[in-house]
Amino acid sequence: MRPISRGERSTAVFEIRAILAGLGLLPNGGGLADQTSFDEETERAVREFQQSRGLSVDGEVNDETWRALDAARWHLGQRALYQAVPIPLMGDDVRQMQERLLEMGYDPGRPDGLYGTQTARAVAQFQREVGLSPDGACGPQTLNALRRLGRKVVGGRPQMLREVAAFRASGPALVGKRIVVDPAHGGSDTGIVVPDGVLRWTEADIAYDLAARLEGRLAAAGMRVHLTRGPQPAADLPARDRAKLANELGADLFISVHLDGHPNPAADGVATYHYGTDAGVSSTVGERLAGLVQREIVIRTGMRDCHTHAKSWDLLRMTRMPAVCVAVGHLTSPVDRRRLIDPSFRELVVEAVLAAVQRMYLPAESDVPTGSIDVSQLRTLAPATSSGS
C-alpha cells in the first residue's frame, strides 16, 4: 500500500484514527471535527504505536504498520480463528490464544499472533483431548474449553525452553546445516543511495556483495546456503516472501544483510535486530545470534556499537527459525562508507558473521572469547569440538 502520512485526508485516515482511539492512543477518543485528517496528534499516536509494537518508528502508516494496526483491533472471542493459506490469519486474539495454549502445556510455537500450521496442530491436539472435533480451528466451543480449563504450566517460559533445546539438539558442527542469507532490497528497490563523486553507491549492491561473500565462506565451512535473490533480480521481493522462502527451505538460520542511513552524516555504526516485542515475546535463539553477530563485527572491525534491538518486522516475525537483520554501518556516513566500499573491510564483516554462526552452535562450556575464532579453520574445528564435547 502507499504510505499514509501527516497532512493527508482520506477515509483510510478515519479508520486509522478509529483503531488508535480504540487502543487509547488518541486522547478523548480522537475527537476531531475532521476525523479524516492525519494531523500532528495522529502522527504522534502512530509513532507511539510503532514503538510499542517493535516497528520502525517513522510516523507513517505503510503496509507493515497497517497490518499491525489491523491485528491490534482484535481480542480473543471476537471472531473465529483458523489456519488460512497462503497468508496466515494474524491478530492480538491469535497471540492471546497461543499464550493460553502455552499455559496449558501445548506447543503452538512462539506467541507471535500468526495462525500457522504449528498453531493449528496445537489447537487440534487440545480439541482431541477435551473431546471436540480436531479441526484445528478455534470456534465458540474450543474457545469456551480454553477459558474453562486451568493452567498446567506455572512459571518459566516453556516456548523459550523448547526453542533452546531444539537448537542444542542439532549439534555443534556447521556441516549440513541450512542457512538462508538475505541481501536486502534488489530490483527497482535500491535502498539507500549515496552519490560519491562520479560513483553512486547503493545499499542493494553492497548488501548483495556482502551476502555473496558470506555465501562462499559458509559453504566452505560445510553449510547449505541459499540467497533470497541474485545481483539483478527481475522484481522486488517483499519481506513476507523472503520469510516464506526461508520457511519452505526448512532453514536452520536466517541472516538478512542491510545498511543503514540517517539525515545526519555523523550517525555511524553497526546494529543487529532480532524478533521481539515490548510484551516480552521474543526468539531466544535469535536474540543470542544477534548478540554474537553484533559483538563479533564490533570487535573485528572497530565500528561503533549501536547494540542489538528487538523488532517485530515481518522479516523477523514470519520466519520460523532464528533470524536476525544486521545493518552493517551507515551508507550516509563518510566514515562508514569509506569502510564499506573497501573489499577487504567487507571480508572482515563476513568473517565476523561466520564466527558468530559457529559460536551459535558451540555448547556453553566450549564457547570462546569474541574475536578469537580463526574462521579459516572452521571446517575442521566444528567436528573436532563435537567429538570432544
In a domain, 237, yes or no: yes
Range of the domain at 263: 169-388
Question: Could you report the average pLDDT of every consecutive run of 10 residues in the chain (389 residues)?
Answer: 91 94 82 79 95 92 94 93 90 94 89 93 96 95 88 58 76 90 93 80 94 96 95 86 94 96 95 85 86 97 96 93 96 95 96 95 82 76 40
Q: Which of 115, 54, 118 is nearest to 325 (CA)?
A: 54
103 & 236 share domain: no
In a domain, 212, yes or no: yes
**Would you state the pLDDT for residue 160?**
67
Cell readout for 299 is 570487535
15 & 63 share domain: yes
**Would you state the pLDDT for residue 173?**
84
137 & 184 share domain: no
67 & 191 share domain: no
177 & 271 share domain: yes
- CATH code for the domain in which residue 66 is found: 1.10.101
**Would you state the pLDDT for residue 374?**
85
In a domain, 118, yes or no: yes
202 & 348 share domain: yes
261 & 367 share domain: yes
- CATH code for the domain in which residue 189 is found: 3.40.630.40
192 & 301 share domain: yes
Domain boundary among 101, 131, 155: 155
Tell me how many domains the chain contains. Answer: 3
Angle at 277 between CA 271 and CA 282, to 5 degrees: 80
**Would you state the pLDDT for residue 386?**
37
The whole-model pTM stands at 0.85
Long-range contacts at 49-55 (CB < 8 A, ≥ 24 apart): 49/20, 49/23, 49/25, 51/278, 52/278, 53/277, 53/278, 53/312, 54/276, 54/277, 54/278, 54/310, 54/311, 54/312, 54/313, 55/311, 55/312, 55/313
142 & 181 share domain: no
112 & 61 share domain: no
